[in-house]
Amino acid sequence: MAAVAALIPAYNEEDVISDTVKAVASIPGIDEVIVIDDGSQDGTSSKAEDAGARVVRLKRNRGKGAALNAGLAQTNAEIILMVDADLGSSAVHAAKLLSPMLVGDADMSIAVMQPPAGHRGGFGCVMKLSKWAVKKYGGSEVAAPLSGQRAIRRSVIQKLGGFADGFGVETALTIGALRGGFRVVEIPLPLTHRYTGRDWRGFAHRLRQFWDILKVVWRNSRKKL
């Protein structure tokens, strides 16, 4: 059976990282759990270590893509499970992302998550941009191009040149995999995590996402379709 490593990028997630690590570690087939502490200023690293994860510490906050690349460099696993740090105990449901990978039916599997009832997020600009970019440059429509919960073959990541910088990582992975002819599947899962609201922090986060996805669009626009 192919070796599987879970990569969990984390920034100031001491309140939930322990539950996330334990849930991921309980998934059958997981060989190692690696938490990449992306310059946290709290007890994220110690909580992750106490929960049984191997921790890679970055001296400063470098963004999600850089954190994933740092974690990837620490493992030779053939299948990489990407998990957001704030999933908590619901992370156990990510097990279903591995099923099509382990039997050879997919090269990347993406979790489709539903926001909680009554949730008021942003205005959909980031999602619309990501879906448009995936359709234009990947040639297919996907339901969850921004989902950070996915399993992907190491060979695909290497073919794409590693993880893209910042918060454009998921959009870049989706476009790259589709454009490269790799098999991509989406799986609805009852995963739950913290959703950004409509306060200034939420808008600042979405602005960073939007900018990083624009950079992905720019890079792909310069490639021959």
User: Is the pLDDT assigned to residue 64 strictly greater than 90?
Assistant: yes
186: Cβ contacts below 8 Å, ≥ 6 apart: 109, 110, 111, 112, 142, 143, 144
Query: What's the rounded mean pLDDT across residues 101-113?
Result: 97
Q: 220: pLDDT confidence band, cut at 50, 70 and 90?
A: confident
Q: 124: pLDDT confidence band, cut at 50, 70 and 90?
A: confident
Phi, psi angle pair for 99, to nearest 5°: -55, -55
pLDDT of 194: 67
Residue 93 is part of which domain span?
4-221
pLDDT of 176: 97
CATH number, domain of 133, equals 3.90.550.10
Number of domains in the chain: 1
Longest dimension (CA), the chain: 48
Q: 71: pLDDT confidence band, cut at 50, 70 and 90?
A: very high
User: Is the pLDDT assigned to residue 198 strictly greater than 60?
Assistant: no
Spatial separation of the C-alpha atoms in residues 183 and 180, rounded to whole Å? 9
pLDDT of 201: 66
